Chain A
């Protein structure tokens, strides 16, 4: 009986405590930079698409919400012909971001994606592609990759030696 009255008194005192509710649309909580929210496709420092259409994100996706089609331009650079993410399936696990070898696909701190029409949650490439570099600045995959697709000459990349002339005897 006394403990009941005591707990009632303690609950009554909660009246004078600070509220924990955040008045959401007016006041927004801080989201950490690595928050896993809306998925974007980022671009190189020289403004071309990072995605090389390797399908690793689609393979890693546990709910199969990513679909894309690879193609090549005239210089042999791979890029996705279409890139589609169905956000009504996406569980925002971030495995696609982990799988991506070129930092192209990234999850950004934004969750306000509600739609009245379910079909509007299917994002096409033009919806996903952003102008910036996302979380990894200055990274350019084709500068460190072996192949030359017009970004650099053969052997002209970062930390890359000039190609060895195998016909010469002197090292």
Chain B
């Protein structure tokens, strides 16, 4: 087959699968939250309630696409696109198997960090364009949280980069042929996981949304498909962080040979997605200043220390 067509096919495949998984997570999350709270969850639409996603989608597509009169229209429309685009772009660099990945980028990890920083703009712009005090408060919190958590998110990843000697995600997976990096890089893994939660604004770090304080935070004014994009964007973010954790710390597509690599990748990814949902079911939201001081005073020094020790060890054993 023509390599260009193969590329386009991979691209469309990854896009479709990832968006489908993200939409399916709406059902998975509702169902798993129910399971962990002694309830049953959605079980009426179709077998086991599996068609609930379809029902939700049909509903959200037919809702009125309303823009408030007081909103800044162009920015208001732009903001939900940014969150989808920036996260979907990052999926391009993730190696799902040795063969399936959209682009083999030699700065893959930096690309992810750049895109996740761009994702912060969606929150800031959404909150600002809404022209609503709760949205603005959510946006301010979101930007501050992003600013503080972006720093040691990058630093915690550097431990992996130092060990693998490459920013390329393919090389990082290849370098894990002896031992998966979560064993030598356990500190980096924990710090990246916490930063990843903050990155996706999931509970316990959903402070920009904080529905018990700020209505719905930065997307208070959004409805219809624009809200749906924020919603699916959040689940795409979870999928992305889970995929990255698997790629960087849990050997990517590696696993015993009785299953194909892509299945191993998806199994590991879903384990982390379920942990994300479990955290939502069990943990309370910290206060805002607690979150900030936790980030700057504990996690930042920890990730620096991790980077120093990793670097020293790598130099010593070389």
Contacts and interface: CB of A to CB of B under 8 A. Distances in A.
Interface of A: 4, 7-8, 10-12, 14-15, 17-21, 23
Contacts of A18: 38
B36 interface: yes
A75 B38 CA distance: 63
A23 B41 CA distance: 11
8 contacts: A4-B282, A4-B283, A8-B279, A8-B282, A11-B281, A12-B282, A15-B36, A21-B38
A10 B282 contact: yes
Interface in B21-64: 35-40
Contact of B278 (A12, A17, A23): A12
A20 B39 contact: yes
Contact of B36 (A14, A21, A23): A14
Nearest to A23: B40
Contacts of A8: 278-279, 282-283
Contacts of A7: 282-283
A14 B36 CA distance: 5
Interface of B: 35-40, 278-279, 281-283
Taking chain B's interface residues, is the majority helix, strand, or loop, or is none over half, making it mixed? helix
Contacts of A20: 38-39
B299 to A, nearest CB: 11
A87 B40 CA distance: 32
B283 A19 contact: no
A20 B281 CA distance: 17
Nearest to B298: A1
Contacts of A23: 40
Contact of B40 (A12, A15, A19): A19
Contact of B35 (A4, A10, A15): A15
A65 B177 CA distance: 77
Contacts of A12: 36, 278, 282
A4 B278 CA distance: 11
A11 B282 contact: yes
Given A11-B282, A17-B38, 20 more contacts: A4-B283, A7-B282, A8-B278, A8-B283, A10-B282, A11-B36, A11-B278, A12-B282, A14-B35, A14-B36, A14-B37, A14-B38, A15-B35, A15-B36, A18-B38, A19-B39, A20-B39, A21-B39, A21-B40, A23-B40
A82 B279 CA distance: 60
Contacts of B35: 14-15
Contacts of B38: 14, 17-21
A36 B218 CA distance: 45
B52 to A, nearest CB: 16
Closest 4 CB pairs of A and B: A11-B282, A21-B40, A8-B282, A20-B38
A123 to B, nearest CB: 31
Contacts of A14: 35-38
Contacts of A21: 38-40
Nearest to A20: B38
Nearest to B275: A8
A84 B35 CA distance: 46
A32 to B, nearest CB: 24
Contacts of B282: 4, 7-8, 10-12
Nearest to B279: A8
Contacts of A10: 282
A36 B47 CA distance: 36
